[in-house]
Chain A
């Protein structure tokens, strides 16, 4: 099974809402990633979890809060977002992340619109 799943596929939220994005993988990978991708741009790294611990935060605003409840799940909690946060949010996973930058497997993404 080389699949990374993400829910929901689409999300529309107001600037005062609180919502969460979910990501799941069953490949035994111990690194999980959140990316943000704006139209016609490459993915931008937001967070990296390594063995369920946050190892990289790319200076992401605190209105985005990641959580890794276990080795298969990754959440991104959203609160008080701005319209410019509208984007495709991609989750990815890879093998044991330390010592080498391994191939990342991407989920289908969540298309987020902030109104």
Chain B
């Protein structure tokens, strides 16, 4: 059974600081997705990582994937308040021929002035 673990689950940061969110998963997969969710809102796709060594950057966020270590990271550079949200990683899996995503528990990020 595929398990996805994120840590930390809660992260309180000061503006301007850097930090990394980790996503570990238990079985082989070469597809990993990062989503952002604001309170009461839906999930917004941030990054799609499709191969070992993939690195994507958008603004102050950078995501990477190491399929051998079964680890993805979401690095936050010089955090700003607008980044406050819950971030989910989701790992792609196949059940038979049907593709699906398994979500981590999410990391609630709070950026304070």
Q: Which residues of A contact B (CB under 8 A)?
A: 31, 33, 40-43, 45, 48, 50, 55-56, 88, 90, 94, 97-109, 111
Within the complex, the shortest CB–CB distance from B34 to chain A, in Å, comes to: 11
Residues in B whose Cβ lies below 8 Å from that of A94 = 99
Interface band, chain B: 20 to 34
Residues in B whose Cβ lies below 8 Å from that of A99 = 94, 97, 99
Say whether chain B's binding surface is mostly helix, strand, loop, or mixed. Answer: strand
Q: Quick one: which of A56, A88, A105, A111 contacts B98, CB cutoff 8 A?
A: A56
> Are the CB atoms of A97 and B104 closer together than 8 Å?
no
Within the complex, the shortest CB–CB distance from B63 to chain A, in Å, comes to: 13
Q: Quick one: which of B35, B43, B44, B98 contacts A48, CB cutoff 8 A?
A: B98
Q: Quick one: which of B33, B43, B45, B97 contacts A90, CB cutoff 8 A?
A: B43
> Are the CB atoms of B105 and A102 closer together than 8 Å?
no
Q: Which residues of B contact A (CB under 8 A)?
A: 29, 31, 33, 35, 40-45, 48, 88, 90, 92-95, 97-101, 103-106, 108
> Are the CB atoms of B42 and A107 closer together than 8 Å?
yes
CA distance A23 to B99 in the complex (A): 20
> Are the CB atoms of A98 and B93 closer together than 8 Å?
no
> Are the CB atoms of B98 and A43 closer together than 8 Å?
no
Q: Quick one: which of B33, B41, B103 contacts A42, CB cutoff 8 A?
A: B103
> Are the CB atoms of A106 and B92 closer together than 8 Å?
no
Residues in B whose Cβ lies below 8 Å from that of A108 = 41-42
**Which interface residue of B33, B35, B100 has the most chain A CB atoms within 10 A?**
B100
In the complex, residue of chain B having the shortest beta-carbon distance to the beta carbon of A58: B100
In the complex, residue of chain A having the shortest beta-carbon distance to the beta carbon of B47: A103
Contact sample, A vs B, 30 pairs, CB 8 Å cutoff: A31-B99, A40-B106, A41-B105, A42-B88, A42-B103, A42-B105, A42-B106, A43-B88, A45-B101, A48-B98, A50-B98, A56-B95, A90-B42, A90-B43, A97-B98, A97-B99, A98-B99, A99-B97, A100-B92, A100-B94, A101-B92, A101-B93, A101-B94, A102-B99, A103-B33, A105-B45, A106-B35, A108-B41, A108-B42, A109-B41
